[in-house]
C-alpha cells in the first residue's frame, strides 16, 4: 500500500537538525559511490515547466524521483519513493516544504564545513520562502548573534525579518544597501532568482563564506 503524505504532515514532523544529518549522509554516500543522482531534467512548454530530479540510495533500499510543475497560477511538487529491491512504490509525498528544507540543509552542511567556527553574523540576499530555510540551516550549525537582510521588495523584506527574528530568537534586521549587509559578516546567504550578480564581488572580505543558491533556469 502506497503511503500518501501531505504538506501539513511534512511540516509537522521535519526538523532542520534531522534534515541536515540526512543531507550530510547523502553527500557522503554519493562521494563514496553509495548513492546516485541524475541532474534535473526539464520539459519546457508554453505556460508551464515540468522538472524531474532522480536519485537512488541502495543502502536504504530506495530509489525515486521528485517531479514538480510550475506555472504562474499553480505549483505542484511531489516526491515518489520506490522500493529499490522489489520495485513497488512506497510513498507519494507532497514535497514543497521538503524541498525548501533540503535546500536549507545543504546550505547548513556547506557552512558547517567551510565557514569559520566562530561565525555569528549572516548577510542575507533575498527574502523569499527559500531564504527562510536557508537561514534556518545556517542557524542550525552556528550560534548566530546578528542577521542582516537585503531585498528589493520592502514588504517581503520586513516580513522576512519579523518571521525569522521570532523563529530563531536572533535579531534579523533590514538593511538598505549591499555594502551594509556585507560589512563584517561571516556568512553570506544568496537566495534569489537573479541571473546577474546581486552585489559587487569587491565588497567581499577575506574569510567570508558565501552560500550561493536560487535561480537555476536555463
Which long-range CB contacts under 8 A does 162-165 form with residues at least 24 apart?
163/132, 164/132, 164/135, 164/136
| Predicted pLDDT of residue 165 | 98
pLDDT reported for residue 138: 99
Query: Cell 520592502, residue?
Result: 154
Q: Which helix (H) or strand (E) holds 142?
A: none
How many angstroms separate the CA atoms of 78 and 28, rounded?
A: 25
Question: What is the dotted CATH code of the domain comprising 3-100?
Answer: 3.30.1780.10
Which residues on neighbouring strands pair with residue 77, listed in sequence order? Answer: 68
Domain 103-214 is found in CATH 3.40.50.720: yes
- Rounded to an integer, what distance in angstroms lies between the CA atom of residue 114 and that of residue 118? 12
Residues near 95 by beta carbon (within 8 Å), at least 6 away in sequence: 10, 66, 68, 77, 78, 79
Tens-of-pLDDT digits for all 218 residues of the chain?
899 999 999 999 999 999 999 999 999 999 999 999 998 999 999 989 999 999 999 999 999 999 999 988 888 999 999 999 999 999 999 999 999 999 999 999 999 999 999 999 999 999 999 999 999 999 999 999 999 999 999 999 999 999 999 999 999 999 999 999 999 999 999 999 888 899 999 999 999 999 999 876 65
Kind of pairing, strands 74-83 and 89-94? antiparallel
Question: Which residues fall within 8 angstroms of residue 204, CB to CB, at 6 or more apart?
Answer: 182, 188, 210
Task: Give the model's pLDDT for residue 218.
Answer: 56
Domain boundaries defined on the chain = 3-100, 103-214
Instruction: Output phi, psi for 92, to 5 deg.
Output: -125, 120
Amino acid at each position: 500500500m502506497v503511503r500518501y503524505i501531505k504538506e501539513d504532515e511534512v511540516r509537522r514532523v521535519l526538523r532542520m537538525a534531522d534534515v541536515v544529518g540526512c543531507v550530510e549522509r547523502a553527500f557522503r554516500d554519493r562521494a563514496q559511490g553509495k548513492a546516485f543522482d541524475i541532474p534535473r531534467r526539464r520539459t519546457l512548454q508554453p505556460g508551464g515547466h515540468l522538472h524531474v530530479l532522480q536519485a537512488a540510495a541502495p543502502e536504504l533500499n530506495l530509489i525515486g524521483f521528485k517531479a514538480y510543475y510550475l506555472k504562474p497560477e499553480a505549483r505542484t511538487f511531489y516526491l515518489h519513493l520506490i522500493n529499490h529491491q522489489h520495485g513497488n512504490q512506497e510513498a507519494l509525498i507532497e514535497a514543497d516544504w521538503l524541498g525548501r528544507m533540503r535546500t536549507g540543509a545543504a546550505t547548513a552542511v556547506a557552512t558547517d564545513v567551510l565557514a569559520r567556527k566562530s561565525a555569528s553574523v549572516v548577510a542575507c540576499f533575498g527574502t523569499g520562502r527559500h531564504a527562510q530555510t536557508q537561514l534556518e540551516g545556517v542557524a542550525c550549525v552556528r550560534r548566530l548573534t546578528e542577521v542582516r537582510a537585503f531585498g528589493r521588495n520592502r514588504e517581503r523584506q520586513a516580513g522576512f525579518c519579523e518571521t525569522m527574528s521570532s523563529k530563531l530568537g536572533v535579531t534579523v534586521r533590514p538593511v538598505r544597501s549591499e555594502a551594509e549587509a556585507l560589512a563584517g559578516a561571516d556568512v553570506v546567504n544568496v537566495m534569489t532568482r537573479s541571473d546577474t550578480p546581486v552585489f559587487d564581488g569587491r565588497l567581499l572580505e577575506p574569510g567570508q563564506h558565501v552560500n550561493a543558491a536560487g535561480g537555476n533556469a536555463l
